[in-house]
Structure 1
Amino acid sequence: MSDKVKVACVQFECGRKASSDEEQVKRNIEKAGELTRKAAAEGAKIILLSELFERKYFCQERCYDYYELAVPAKENPAVIYFKALCKELNVVMPISIFERDGNVFYNTVVMIDADGSDLGIYRKTHIPDDHYYQEKFYFTPGNTGFKVFETAFGNVGVGICWDQWFPETARCLALNGADIILYPTAIGSEPILEVDSSGHWMRTMQGHSAANIVPVAAANRIGREDVEPSEENGGQKSSLTFYGSSFLTDETGDIISKAGRDKEEIIYAEYDFEENRKMRSSWGMFRDRRPECYKDITK
Protein backbone atom coordinates (compact mmCIF):
# COMPACT_ATOMS: atom_id res chain seq x y z
CA MET A 1 0.00 0.00 0.00
CA SER A 2 1.33 3.43 -0.95
CA ASP A 3 1.76 6.16 1.64
CA LYS A 4 -1.26 8.05 0.36
CA VAL A 5 -4.72 6.77 -0.53
CA LYS A 6 -6.88 8.65 -3.01
CA VAL A 7 -10.58 8.80 -2.15
CA ALA A 8 -13.38 9.83 -4.50
CA CYS A 9 -16.98 10.96 -3.95
CA VAL A 10 -19.36 10.51 -6.88
CA GLN A 11 -22.59 12.51 -7.24
CA PHE A 12 -25.18 12.18 -9.97
CA GLU A 13 -28.93 12.37 -10.59
CA CYS A 14 -30.57 9.16 -9.39
CA GLY A 15 -34.27 10.00 -9.73
CA ARG A 16 -34.57 10.72 -13.44
CA LYS A 17 -37.80 9.16 -14.69
CA ALA A 18 -37.72 5.77 -16.40
CA SER A 19 -40.27 3.47 -17.98
CA SER A 20 -40.01 1.06 -15.03
CA ASP A 21 -38.16 0.50 -11.80
CA GLU A 22 -36.08 -2.18 -13.53
CA GLU A 23 -35.05 0.29 -16.22
CA GLN A 24 -34.16 2.95 -13.64
CA VAL A 25 -32.05 0.50 -11.60
CA LYS A 26 -30.24 -0.73 -14.71
CA ARG A 27 -29.55 2.83 -15.89
CA ASN A 28 -28.34 4.04 -12.49
CA ILE A 29 -26.05 1.08 -11.93
CA GLU A 30 -24.53 1.61 -15.36
CA LYS A 31 -24.11 5.36 -14.69
CA ALA A 32 -22.52 4.66 -11.30
CA GLY A 33 -20.25 2.11 -12.95
CA GLU A 34 -19.18 4.59 -15.65
CA LEU A 35 -18.32 7.23 -13.04
CA THR A 36 -16.53 4.65 -10.90
CA ARG A 37 -14.31 3.77 -13.86
CA LYS A 38 -13.48 7.45 -14.29
CA ALA A 39 -12.60 7.80 -10.62
CA ALA A 40 -10.43 4.67 -10.71
CA ALA A 41 -8.67 5.95 -13.84
CA GLU A 42 -7.72 9.04 -11.80
CA GLY A 43 -6.15 6.83 -9.15
CA ALA A 44 -8.98 6.63 -6.60
CA LYS A 45 -8.81 3.52 -4.42
CA ILE A 46 -11.81 4.15 -2.15
CA ILE A 47 -14.90 5.32 -4.05
CA LEU A 48 -18.13 6.52 -2.44
CA LEU A 49 -21.54 6.60 -4.13
CA SER A 50 -24.68 8.20 -2.68
CA GLU A 51 -27.37 6.58 -0.55
CA LEU A 52 -29.87 4.26 -2.30
CA PHE A 53 -28.47 5.35 -5.68
CA GLU A 54 -30.17 2.55 -7.63
CA ARG A 55 -33.44 4.45 -7.99
CA LYS A 56 -35.45 7.50 -7.01
CA TYR A 57 -35.66 8.33 -3.31
CA PHE A 58 -38.82 6.29 -2.77
CA CYS A 59 -39.04 7.28 0.92
CA GLN A 60 -40.51 10.63 -0.14
CA GLU A 61 -43.89 8.90 -0.08
CA ARG A 62 -45.53 5.97 1.68
CA CYS A 63 -46.38 3.16 -0.71
CA TYR A 64 -46.76 -0.49 0.26
CA ASP A 65 -45.73 -1.56 -3.24
CA TYR A 66 -42.22 -0.26 -2.59
CA TYR A 67 -41.60 -3.01 -0.04
CA GLU A 68 -41.26 -5.27 -3.07
CA LEU A 69 -38.12 -3.36 -4.12
CA ALA A 70 -36.10 -4.83 -1.25
CA VAL A 71 -34.02 -7.97 -1.85
CA PRO A 72 -31.43 -9.88 0.21
CA ALA A 73 -28.01 -8.23 0.09
CA LYS A 74 -26.35 -11.05 -1.86
CA GLU A 75 -29.07 -10.89 -4.53
CA ASN A 76 -29.00 -7.13 -5.01
CA PRO A 77 -28.03 -6.25 -8.62
CA ALA A 78 -25.78 -3.34 -7.57
CA VAL A 79 -23.87 -5.56 -5.13
CA ILE A 80 -23.38 -8.22 -7.79
CA TYR A 81 -22.26 -5.63 -10.36
CA PHE A 82 -19.84 -3.79 -8.10
CA LYS A 83 -18.25 -6.91 -6.66
CA ALA A 84 -17.06 -7.67 -10.18
CA LEU A 85 -16.11 -4.06 -10.90
CA CYS A 86 -14.16 -3.60 -7.64
CA LYS A 87 -12.16 -6.71 -8.43
CA GLU A 88 -11.47 -5.51 -11.98
CA LEU A 89 -10.44 -2.00 -10.92
CA ASN A 90 -8.80 -2.89 -7.57
CA VAL A 91 -10.96 -0.44 -5.61
CA VAL A 92 -12.92 -0.45 -2.35
CA MET A 93 -16.58 0.61 -2.33
CA PRO A 94 -19.49 0.68 0.12
CA ILE A 95 -22.71 -0.05 -1.80
CA SER A 96 -25.94 1.38 -0.37
CA ILE A 97 -29.03 -0.79 -0.85
CA PHE A 98 -32.61 -1.47 0.26
CA GLU A 99 -32.19 -4.82 1.99
CA ARG A 100 -34.73 -7.49 2.83
CA ASP A 101 -33.77 -9.91 5.61
CA GLY A 102 -36.63 -12.34 6.09
CA ASN A 103 -39.65 -10.21 6.98
CA VAL A 104 -37.62 -7.13 7.91
CA PHE A 105 -36.30 -4.26 5.77
CA TYR A 106 -33.09 -2.30 6.32
CA ASN A 107 -31.20 0.61 4.80
CA THR A 108 -27.89 -1.18 4.37
CA VAL A 109 -24.35 -0.76 3.10
CA VAL A 110 -22.43 -3.74 1.73
CA MET A 111 -18.65 -3.18 1.93
CA ILE A 112 -16.77 -4.55 -1.06
CA ASP A 113 -12.99 -4.94 -0.91
CA ALA A 114 -10.52 -4.43 -3.76
CA ASP A 115 -10.51 -8.14 -4.61
CA GLY A 116 -14.29 -8.14 -5.00
CA SER A 117 -14.93 -9.87 -1.70
CA ASP A 118 -17.87 -8.97 0.53
CA LEU A 119 -16.51 -7.75 3.88
CA GLY A 120 -19.93 -7.59 5.51
CA ILE A 121 -22.78 -5.16 6.04
CA TYR A 122 -23.68 -2.12 8.08
CA ARG A 123 -27.36 -1.34 8.69
CA LYS A 124 -28.39 2.27 9.24
CA THR A 125 -28.74 2.94 12.97
CA HIS A 126 -30.69 6.21 13.02
CA ILE A 127 -33.87 6.22 10.92
CA PRO A 128 -35.45 9.63 10.17
CA ASP A 129 -39.15 10.40 9.92
CA ASP A 130 -39.88 13.84 8.54
CA HIS A 131 -41.95 15.48 5.84
CA TYR A 132 -41.00 13.61 2.63
CA TYR A 133 -38.13 11.75 4.37
CA GLN A 134 -40.45 9.01 5.61
CA GLU A 135 -37.90 6.29 6.24
CA LYS A 136 -39.52 4.79 9.34
CA PHE A 137 -42.29 3.51 7.06
CA TYR A 138 -39.71 1.32 5.30
CA PHE A 139 -36.67 0.64 7.47
CA THR A 140 -36.14 -1.09 10.79
CA PRO A 141 -33.28 0.47 12.85
CA GLY A 142 -30.04 -1.38 12.19
CA ASN A 143 -28.86 -4.23 14.39
CA THR A 144 -25.21 -4.45 13.30
CA GLY A 145 -23.74 -1.80 15.57
CA PHE A 146 -21.27 0.68 14.11
CA LYS A 147 -18.87 -1.07 11.75
CA VAL A 148 -15.29 -0.40 10.66
CA PHE A 149 -14.10 -2.57 7.79
CA GLU A 150 -10.47 -3.57 7.33
CA THR A 151 -9.96 -3.07 3.59
CA ALA A 152 -7.00 -3.26 1.24
CA PHE A 153 -6.54 0.51 1.53
CA GLY A 154 -7.29 1.27 5.16
CA ASN A 155 -9.86 0.90 7.91
CA VAL A 156 -13.12 2.31 6.57
CA GLY A 157 -15.98 3.34 8.84
CA VAL A 158 -19.44 3.91 7.37
CA GLY A 159 -22.52 5.79 8.52
CA ILE A 160 -25.59 6.31 6.35
CA CYS A 161 -27.17 9.76 5.85
CA TRP A 162 -29.13 10.56 9.07
CA ASP A 163 -26.34 8.81 11.03
CA GLN A 164 -24.11 11.71 9.98
CA TRP A 165 -25.93 14.13 12.30
CA PHE A 166 -25.06 12.11 15.42
CA PRO A 167 -21.62 12.65 17.01
CA GLU A 168 -21.96 9.23 18.63
CA THR A 169 -21.74 7.57 15.21
CA ALA A 170 -18.43 9.20 14.34
CA ARG A 171 -17.00 8.71 17.83
CA CYS A 172 -17.79 4.99 17.84
CA LEU A 173 -16.26 4.58 14.39
CA ALA A 174 -13.13 6.46 15.46
CA LEU A 175 -12.84 4.39 18.64
CA ASN A 176 -13.08 1.26 16.50
CA GLY A 177 -10.10 2.36 14.43
CA ALA A 178 -11.56 4.11 11.38
CA ASP A 179 -8.98 5.82 9.15
CA ILE A 180 -11.81 7.57 7.29
CA ILE A 181 -15.57 7.85 7.74
CA LEU A 182 -17.79 7.59 4.66
CA TYR A 183 -21.39 8.82 4.57
CA PRO A 184 -23.54 7.87 1.56
CA THR A 185 -26.31 10.47 1.58
CA ALA A 186 -29.67 11.51 0.13
CA ILE A 187 -30.57 14.99 1.39
CA GLY A 188 -32.05 18.10 -0.11
CA SER A 189 -34.80 20.64 0.28
CA GLU A 190 -36.89 20.87 3.44
CA PRO A 191 -40.16 22.03 1.86
CA ILE A 192 -42.13 22.34 5.10
CA LEU A 193 -39.37 24.05 7.09
CA GLU A 194 -38.30 26.26 4.17
CA VAL A 195 -34.64 26.17 5.16
CA ASP A 196 -31.49 25.30 3.26
CA SER A 197 -29.78 22.79 5.52
CA SER A 198 -26.67 22.30 3.37
CA GLY A 199 -24.37 24.50 5.45
CA HIS A 200 -25.56 23.01 8.73
CA TRP A 201 -25.19 19.52 7.23
CA MET A 202 -21.59 20.16 6.22
CA ARG A 203 -20.55 21.86 9.46
CA THR A 204 -21.93 18.98 11.52
CA MET A 205 -19.71 16.46 9.76
CA GLN A 206 -16.75 18.83 9.78
CA GLY A 207 -17.11 18.89 13.56
CA HIS A 208 -17.11 15.09 13.72
CA SER A 209 -13.92 15.06 11.68
CA ALA A 210 -12.21 17.69 13.81
CA ALA A 211 -13.25 16.14 17.13
CA ASN A 212 -11.93 12.72 16.14
CA ILE A 213 -9.03 13.74 13.85
CA VAL A 214 -10.46 11.49 11.14
CA PRO A 215 -11.25 12.64 7.59
CA VAL A 216 -14.88 12.50 6.51
CA ALA A 217 -16.41 12.05 3.06
CA ALA A 218 -20.07 12.52 2.09
CA ALA A 219 -21.57 11.72 -1.32
CA ASN A 220 -25.03 13.12 -2.08
CA ARG A 221 -27.36 12.91 -5.06
CA ILE A 222 -28.59 15.80 -7.21
CA GLY A 223 -31.78 16.68 -9.06
CA ARG A 224 -35.48 17.28 -8.38
CA GLU A 225 -37.70 14.28 -7.69
CA ASP A 226 -41.50 14.66 -7.84
CA VAL A 227 -44.34 12.59 -6.39
CA GLU A 228 -47.63 12.58 -8.26
CA PRO A 229 -50.95 12.06 -6.41
CA SER A 230 -52.32 8.53 -6.30
CA GLU A 231 -54.76 6.58 -4.17
CA GLU A 232 -51.88 4.51 -2.80
CA ASN A 233 -50.05 7.57 -1.39
CA GLY A 234 -53.21 9.26 -0.12
CA GLY A 235 -53.21 11.89 -2.84
CA GLN A 236 -49.79 13.27 -1.87
CA LYS A 237 -48.10 15.67 -4.25
CA SER A 238 -44.59 16.74 -3.31
CA SER A 239 -41.06 17.26 -4.53
CA LEU A 240 -37.54 17.20 -3.16
CA THR A 241 -34.55 18.94 -4.71
CA PHE A 242 -31.37 17.18 -3.66
CA TYR A 243 -28.55 19.69 -3.19
CA GLY A 244 -25.43 17.70 -4.01
CA SER A 245 -22.54 19.51 -2.29
CA SER A 246 -20.64 16.23 -1.78
CA PHE A 247 -17.39 16.91 0.04
CA LEU A 248 -14.24 15.52 1.62
CA THR A 249 -12.47 16.94 4.66
CA ASP A 250 -8.93 16.59 5.90
CA GLU A 251 -8.26 15.11 9.33
CA THR A 252 -8.95 18.47 11.04
CA GLY A 253 -12.37 18.95 9.44
CA ASP A 254 -11.27 21.48 6.82
CA ILE A 255 -13.06 20.95 3.50
CA ILE A 256 -10.49 20.16 0.86
CA SER A 257 -12.80 19.18 -2.00
CA LYS A 258 -16.44 20.07 -2.62
CA ALA A 259 -18.89 19.46 -5.47
CA GLY A 260 -21.56 21.83 -6.74
CA ARG A 261 -25.27 21.69 -5.93
CA ASP A 262 -26.65 20.56 -9.27
CA LYS A 263 -23.83 19.12 -11.34
CA GLU A 264 -22.77 15.53 -11.98
CA GLU A 265 -19.30 15.44 -10.51
CA ILE A 266 -16.46 13.37 -9.07
CA ILE A 267 -14.31 14.93 -6.38
CA TYR A 268 -11.07 13.66 -4.84
CA ALA A 269 -8.74 13.91 -1.87
CA GLU A 270 -5.56 12.08 -0.87
CA TYR A 271 -4.77 10.89 2.64
CA ASP A 272 -1.82 9.49 4.52
CA PHE A 273 -3.66 7.35 7.04
CA GLU A 274 -0.48 6.43 8.93
CA GLU A 275 0.38 10.09 9.51
CA ASN A 276 -3.21 10.76 10.62
CA ARG A 277 -2.94 7.95 13.19
CA LYS A 278 0.19 9.57 14.60
CA MET A 279 -1.59 12.92 14.75
CA ARG A 280 -4.52 11.40 16.68
CA SER A 281 -2.09 9.96 19.21
CA SER A 282 -0.17 13.21 19.59
CA TRP A 283 -3.31 15.24 20.40
CA GLY A 284 -4.19 12.94 23.30
CA MET A 285 -7.95 13.33 22.92
CA PHE A 286 -8.51 9.60 23.09
CA ARG A 287 -6.01 9.25 25.92
CA ASP A 288 -7.92 11.84 27.95
CA ARG A 289 -11.42 10.51 27.40
CA ARG A 290 -13.49 9.87 30.56
CA PRO A 291 -16.18 7.35 29.56
CA GLU A 292 -17.29 6.94 33.17
CA CYS A 293 -18.39 10.59 33.10
CA TYR A 294 -20.54 10.26 29.98
CA LYS A 295 -23.42 8.20 31.36
CA ASP A 296 -25.94 10.98 30.69
CA ILE A 297 -25.72 10.46 26.93
CA THR A 298 -26.84 6.81 27.23
CA LYS A 299 -29.90 7.43 29.42
Structure 2
Amino acid sequence: MMTRTITVAAIQSSFGPDMKANLDKVEAFVCDAAKENAQVILPPELFQGIYFPTRQDPKWFETAYGVGEHPCVRALQKLAKSLEVVIPISFFEKEGPRHYNSVAIADTDGEILGVYRKSHIPDGPGYQEKYYFRPGDTGFKAWKTRHGTIGVGICWDQWYPEAARAMMLEGAELLLYPTAIGTEPYDATLDTSGRWQRVMQGHAVANAVPVVAANRIGVEDNDGVSQSYYGHSFVADHAGDLVAQFGSTDEGVLVARFDLDALARYRAEWGFFRDRRTDLYAKGLV
Protein backbone atom coordinates (compact mmCIF):
# COMPACT_ATOMS: atom_id res chain seq x y z
CA MET A 1 0.00 0.00 0.00
CA MET A 2 1.34 3.43 -0.95
CA THR A 3 2.38 5.67 1.96
CA ARG A 4 0.69 9.06 2.15
CA THR A 5 3.24 11.85 2.44
CA ILE A 6 3.04 15.63 2.32
CA THR A 7 5.73 18.21 1.62
CA VAL A 8 5.10 21.65 3.06
CA ALA A 9 6.78 25.02 2.73
CA ALA A 10 6.74 28.33 4.62
CA ILE A 11 7.67 31.62 2.96
CA GLN A 12 9.54 34.30 4.92
CA SER A 13 10.06 37.71 3.34
CA SER A 14 10.00 41.47 3.74
CA PHE A 15 7.14 43.40 2.16
CA GLY A 16 6.56 47.00 1.11
CA PRO A 17 3.69 49.25 0.08
CA ASP A 18 3.50 48.08 -3.57
CA MET A 19 1.02 45.21 -3.98
CA LYS A 20 2.36 44.06 -7.34
CA ALA A 21 5.94 43.93 -6.08
CA ASN A 22 4.83 41.91 -3.06
CA LEU A 23 2.79 39.56 -5.21
CA ASP A 24 5.69 39.07 -7.61
CA LYS A 25 7.94 38.21 -4.67
CA VAL A 26 5.47 35.68 -3.23
CA GLU A 27 4.89 34.09 -6.64
CA ALA A 28 8.65 33.67 -7.10
CA PHE A 29 8.96 32.01 -3.68
CA VAL A 30 6.00 29.73 -4.43
CA CYS A 31 7.78 28.63 -7.59
CA ASP A 32 11.00 28.07 -5.63
CA ALA A 33 9.12 25.91 -3.12
CA ALA A 34 7.42 23.93 -5.89
CA LYS A 35 10.84 23.20 -7.40
CA GLU A 36 11.70 21.59 -4.05
CA ASN A 37 8.55 19.45 -4.42
CA ALA A 38 6.49 21.39 -1.89
CA GLN A 39 2.79 20.58 -2.18
CA VAL A 40 1.35 23.02 0.39
CA ILE A 41 2.97 26.47 0.40
CA LEU A 42 2.22 29.10 3.05
CA PRO A 43 2.83 32.86 2.54
CA PRO A 44 2.78 35.24 5.55
CA GLU A 45 -0.23 37.16 6.83
CA LEU A 46 -1.46 40.12 4.74
CA PHE A 47 1.54 39.93 2.42
CA GLN A 48 -0.11 42.28 -0.11
CA GLY A 49 1.36 45.34 1.59
CA ILE A 50 2.82 46.59 4.81
CA TYR A 51 1.16 45.37 7.99
CA PHE A 52 -1.19 48.38 8.21
CA PRO A 53 -2.88 47.81 11.62
CA THR A 54 0.06 49.47 13.40
CA ARG A 55 -2.16 52.58 13.36
CA GLN A 56 -5.77 53.50 12.66
CA ASP A 57 -6.44 55.09 9.29
CA PRO A 58 -9.65 54.67 7.28
CA LYS A 59 -7.74 54.75 3.99
CA TRP A 60 -6.81 51.10 4.44
CA PHE A 61 -10.43 49.98 4.07
CA GLU A 62 -9.99 50.77 0.37
CA THR A 63 -7.54 47.87 0.12
CA ALA A 64 -10.15 45.24 1.06
CA TYR A 65 -11.76 43.06 -1.62
CA GLY A 66 -14.22 40.23 -1.89
CA VAL A 67 -12.62 36.80 -2.12
CA GLY A 68 -13.40 36.50 -5.82
CA GLU A 69 -12.12 39.99 -6.60
CA HIS A 70 -8.84 40.30 -4.73
CA PRO A 71 -5.94 40.59 -7.22
CA CYS A 72 -3.63 38.43 -5.08
CA VAL A 73 -6.22 35.71 -4.52
CA ARG A 74 -6.95 35.54 -8.23
CA ALA A 75 -3.28 35.50 -9.21
CA LEU A 76 -2.31 32.80 -6.70
CA GLN A 77 -5.32 30.68 -7.67
CA LYS A 78 -3.89 30.53 -11.18
CA LEU A 79 -0.42 29.75 -9.88
CA ALA A 80 -1.75 27.00 -7.61
CA LYS A 81 -3.41 25.38 -10.63
CA SER A 82 -0.37 25.67 -12.89
CA LEU A 83 1.95 24.16 -10.25
CA GLU A 84 -0.64 21.76 -8.78
CA VAL A 85 0.01 23.03 -5.26
CA VAL A 86 -2.14 24.19 -2.37
CA ILE A 87 -1.78 27.83 -1.26
CA PRO A 88 -3.55 29.32 1.79
CA ILE A 89 -3.86 32.96 0.67
CA SER A 90 -4.06 35.62 3.40
CA PHE A 91 -6.02 38.74 2.37
CA PHE A 92 -8.05 41.70 3.67
CA GLU A 93 -11.63 40.63 2.95
CA LYS A 94 -14.67 42.81 2.35
CA GLU A 95 -18.12 41.24 2.45
CA GLY A 96 -20.82 43.89 2.14
CA PRO A 97 -20.18 46.40 4.95
CA ARG A 98 -18.09 43.87 6.90
CA HIS A 99 -14.31 43.47 6.92
CA TYR A 100 -12.28 40.43 7.95
CA ASN A 101 -8.69 39.21 8.17
CA SER A 102 -9.09 36.08 6.07
CA VAL A 103 -7.43 33.18 4.31
CA ALA A 104 -8.71 31.67 1.05
CA ILE A 105 -7.67 28.05 0.48
CA ALA A 106 -6.62 27.51 -3.14
CA ASP A 107 -6.47 23.83 -4.06
CA THR A 108 -4.36 22.25 -6.79
CA ASP A 109 -7.03 22.88 -9.45
CA GLY A 110 -7.09 26.57 -8.61
CA GLU A 111 -10.50 26.39 -6.99
CA ILE A 112 -11.10 28.15 -3.67
CA LEU A 113 -12.26 25.51 -1.20
CA GLY A 114 -13.52 28.21 1.15
CA VAL A 115 -12.49 31.03 3.44
CA TYR A 116 -11.36 31.06 7.06
CA ARG A 117 -11.81 34.35 8.94
CA LYS A 118 -9.45 35.13 11.81
CA SER A 119 -11.24 34.38 15.08
CA HIS A 120 -9.02 36.10 17.65
CA ILE A 121 -8.53 39.79 16.86
CA PRO A 122 -5.78 41.60 18.83
CA ASP A 123 -6.07 45.18 20.00
CA GLY A 124 -2.97 46.80 21.44
CA PRO A 125 0.02 48.99 20.57
CA GLY A 126 1.28 48.08 17.12
CA TYR A 127 -1.52 45.56 16.50
CA GLN A 128 -4.74 47.59 16.33
CA GLU A 129 -6.71 45.03 14.37
CA LYS A 130 -10.08 45.56 16.03
CA TYR A 131 -10.32 48.88 14.21
CA TYR A 132 -10.24 47.06 10.87
CA PHE A 133 -11.49 43.50 11.34
CA ARG A 134 -14.61 41.90 12.74
CA PRO A 135 -14.03 38.68 14.69
CA GLY A 136 -14.33 35.78 12.27
CA ASP A 137 -17.65 33.97 11.94
CA THR A 138 -16.50 30.84 10.10
CA GLY A 139 -15.36 28.76 13.04
CA PHE A 140 -12.25 26.61 12.85
CA LYS A 141 -12.03 24.33 9.85
CA ALA A 142 -10.03 21.53 8.29
CA TRP A 143 -9.71 21.68 4.53
CA LYS A 144 -9.53 18.45 2.50
CA THR A 145 -7.08 19.35 -0.22
CA ARG A 146 -5.65 17.07 -2.87
CA HIS A 147 -2.45 16.67 -0.86
CA GLY A 148 -3.89 16.31 2.65
CA THR A 149 -6.22 17.85 5.20
CA ILE A 150 -4.97 21.16 6.58
CA GLY A 151 -6.08 23.48 9.35
CA VAL A 152 -5.26 27.17 9.02
CA GLY A 153 -5.29 29.77 11.80
CA ILE A 154 -4.08 33.36 11.46
CA CYS A 155 -1.43 34.99 13.67
CA TRP A 156 -3.10 35.76 17.04
CA ASP A 157 -5.05 32.49 16.66
CA GLN A 158 -1.73 30.68 17.06
CA TRP A 159 -1.52 31.51 20.75
CA TYR A 160 -4.74 29.64 21.59
CA PRO A 161 -4.58 25.88 22.22
CA GLU A 162 -8.36 25.71 21.74
CA ALA A 163 -7.97 26.81 18.11
CA ALA A 164 -5.38 24.13 17.36
CA ARG A 165 -7.47 21.44 19.05
CA ALA A 166 -10.63 22.52 17.24
CA MET A 167 -8.92 22.18 13.86
CA MET A 168 -7.61 18.75 14.84
CA LEU A 169 -11.08 17.61 15.88
CA GLU A 170 -12.24 18.59 12.39
CA GLY A 171 -9.66 16.20 10.95
CA ALA A 172 -6.59 18.36 10.28
CA GLU A 173 -3.35 16.51 9.50
CA LEU A 174 -1.23 19.67 9.45
CA LEU A 175 -1.62 23.08 11.13
CA LEU A 176 -0.54 26.27 9.35
CA TYR A 177 -0.31 29.82 10.70
CA PRO A 178 0.37 32.83 8.43
CA THR A 179 1.74 35.59 10.66
CA ALA A 180 2.78 39.24 10.97
CA ILE A 181 4.52 39.72 14.31
CA GLY A 182 7.53 41.57 15.60
CA THR A 183 8.50 44.28 18.04
CA GLU A 184 6.29 45.64 20.80
CA PRO A 185 6.12 49.47 20.56
CA TYR A 186 5.81 49.87 24.32
CA ASP A 187 9.02 47.89 24.98
CA ALA A 188 11.71 47.85 22.29
CA THR A 189 13.76 45.34 24.32
CA LEU A 190 11.02 42.71 24.37
CA ASP A 191 11.60 39.86 21.91
CA THR A 192 8.69 37.41 21.91
CA SER A 193 10.01 35.22 19.10
CA GLY A 194 11.03 32.42 21.46
CA ARG A 195 7.71 32.16 23.24
CA TRP A 196 5.93 32.60 19.89
CA GLN A 197 7.68 29.50 18.60
CA ARG A 198 7.26 27.55 21.84
CA VAL A 199 3.50 27.98 22.09
CA MET A 200 3.06 26.47 18.64
CA GLN A 201 5.58 23.73 19.38
CA GLY A 202 3.27 22.93 22.30
CA HIS A 203 0.33 22.64 19.91
CA ALA A 204 2.40 20.23 17.83
CA VAL A 205 3.16 18.05 20.87
CA ALA A 206 -0.35 18.10 22.36
CA ASN A 207 -1.98 17.27 19.03
CA ALA A 208 0.75 15.05 17.56
CA VAL A 209 0.75 17.14 14.39
CA PRO A 210 3.30 19.15 12.37
CA VAL A 211 2.97 22.94 12.61
CA VAL A 212 4.07 25.49 10.00
CA ALA A 213 4.41 29.23 10.73
CA ALA A 214 5.28 31.87 8.10
CA ASN A 215 6.24 35.37 9.30
CA ARG A 216 7.52 38.55 7.66
CA ILE A 217 10.78 40.38 8.31
CA GLY A 218 12.15 43.89 8.04
CA VAL A 219 11.24 47.36 9.25
CA GLU A 220 8.06 48.94 7.90
CA ASP A 221 6.92 52.56 8.12
CA ASN A 222 3.21 53.34 8.29
CA ASP A 223 2.94 57.12 8.02
CA GLY A 224 5.46 57.71 10.78
CA VAL A 225 4.77 54.56 12.81
CA SER A 226 7.73 52.20 12.47
CA GLN A 227 7.65 48.53 13.35
CA SER A 228 10.14 45.69 12.95
CA TYR A 229 9.11 42.09 12.19
CA TYR A 230 11.25 39.32 13.61
CA GLY A 231 10.84 36.42 11.20
CA HIS A 232 11.83 33.12 12.84
CA SER A 233 9.43 31.21 10.61
CA PHE A 234 9.60 27.48 11.22
CA VAL A 235 8.32 23.99 10.66
CA ALA A 236 7.88 21.79 13.75
CA ASP A 237 7.26 18.08 13.65
CA HIS A 238 4.67 16.10 15.64
CA ALA A 239 7.02 16.01 18.65
CA GLY A 240 7.47 19.79 18.62
CA ASP A 241 11.04 19.65 17.34
CA LEU A 242 12.02 22.36 14.87
CA VAL A 243 12.91 20.55 11.65
CA ALA A 244 13.37 23.77 9.64
CA GLN A 245 13.66 27.37 10.76
CA PHE A 246 14.79 30.83 9.68
CA GLY A 247 16.39 33.60 11.70
CA SER A 248 15.36 37.23 11.87
CA THR A 249 16.70 38.36 8.50
CA ASP A 250 16.44 35.35 6.17
CA GLU A 251 14.27 35.47 3.08
CA GLY A 252 13.21 32.36 1.25
CA VAL A 253 11.33 29.10 1.73
CA LEU A 254 11.51 26.40 4.37
CA VAL A 255 10.58 22.92 3.14
CA ALA A 256 9.84 19.75 5.12
CA ARG A 257 8.30 16.38 4.30
CA PHE A 258 6.04 14.27 6.53
CA ASP A 259 4.60 10.76 6.42
CA LEU A 260 0.88 11.25 7.09
CA ASP A 261 0.19 7.57 7.71
CA ALA A 262 2.98 7.32 10.28
CA LEU A 263 1.67 10.47 11.97
CA ALA A 264 -1.84 9.01 12.16
CA ARG A 265 -0.46 5.85 13.82
CA TYR A 266 1.58 7.93 16.27
CA ARG A 267 -1.45 10.04 17.15
CA ALA A 268 -3.56 6.95 17.84
CA GLU A 269 -0.78 5.28 19.85
CA TRP A 270 -0.32 8.23 22.20
CA GLY A 271 -4.03 8.42 22.97
CA PHE A 272 -4.35 12.18 23.30
CA PHE A 273 -7.71 12.09 21.57
CA ARG A 274 -8.82 8.76 23.04
CA ASP A 275 -8.38 10.00 26.60
CA ARG A 276 -10.06 13.40 26.28
CA ARG A 277 -12.64 14.08 29.01
CA THR A 278 -15.16 16.30 27.32
CA ASP A 279 -17.57 15.71 30.21
CA LEU A 280 -15.20 17.71 32.45
CA TYR A 281 -14.16 20.50 30.11
CA ALA A 282 -17.25 22.71 29.84
CA LYS A 283 -17.09 24.24 33.33
CA GLY A 284 -14.82 27.25 33.44
CA LEU A 285 -13.93 27.21 29.76
CA VAL A 286 -16.46 29.77 28.56
TM-score of the pair, normalised by structure 2: 0.97
SS across alignment from 1:251: coil
Q: How much has 1:297 moved relative to structure 2? A: 4.4
- Counterpart of 1:136 in 2: which secondary structure? helix
For residues 1-299 of structure 1, what are the structure 2 equivalents within 5 Å?
Answer: 3-15=4-16, 17=17, 24-194=18-188, 195-228=190-223, 237-299=224-286
Cα deviation, residue 191, structure 1: 2.2
Number of residue pairs matched by the alignment? 284
Q: Equivalent residue of 1:281, what SS?
A: helix
AA aligned to 1:282 is: E
TM-score when normalising by structure 1: 0.93
1:239 is paired with a residue of what secondary structure?
strand
CA distance in 2, matches of 1:93, 1:179: 16
Give the superposition deviation at 1:227: 2.9
Cα deviation for residue 259 of structure 1 reads 0.8
Deviation for aligned residue 1:197: 0.3
- Cα distance, 1:2 vs. partner? 6.0
Bigger shift: residues 87-96 or 192-201: 192-201
Deviations 1:90-131 (A, max 9, x none): 100100000000000000000000111110000000000010
1:273 Cα shift?
1.0
Question: For 1:75, what is the secondary structure of its paired residue?
Answer: coil
**Which residue identity is paired with 2:87?**
M
Q: What root-mean-square deviation, in Å, do the aligned CA atoms of Structure 1 and Structure 2 show?
A: 1.1
Unaligned runs of 5+ in 1: 18-23, 229-236
Give the Cα–Cα distance (whole angstroms) in 2 for the partners of residues 113 and 102 of structure 1. 25
Identity %: 46
Q: Which ranges of 4 or more aligned residues in structure 1 deviate by more than 3 Å?
A: none
**Matched residues in 1 for 2:165 and 2:197: separation?**
17
What secondary structure does 1:55 align onto?
coil
How far apart are residue 132 of structure 1 and its match? 1.2
What letter is aligned with 2:94? R
The structural deviation recorded for 1:266 is: 0.9
Q: Post-superposition shift, 1:47? A: 0.3
CA distance in 1, matches of 2:212, 2:44: 11
Say if 2:46 and 2:91, in contact at 8 Å, map to a contact too.
yes
Q: Secondary structure, in 3 states, of the residue corresponding to 1:193?
A: coil
**Distance of 1:297 and 1:254 partners within structure 2:** 31
User: In 1, distance between residues paired with 2:171 and 2:128?
Assistant: 32
More strand by share: 2
Change (3 A) 1:10 1:297: farther
Contiguous gaps of at least 5 residues in structure 2:
none
Q: Is the 8 A contact 2:90 2:178 kept in 1?
A: yes
- The amino acid across from 1:220 in the alignment is N
Equivalent residues of 2:148, 2:173 under 8 A apart: yes
Distance 1:298 1:142 in 2: 19
Distance 1:2 1:68 in 2: 47
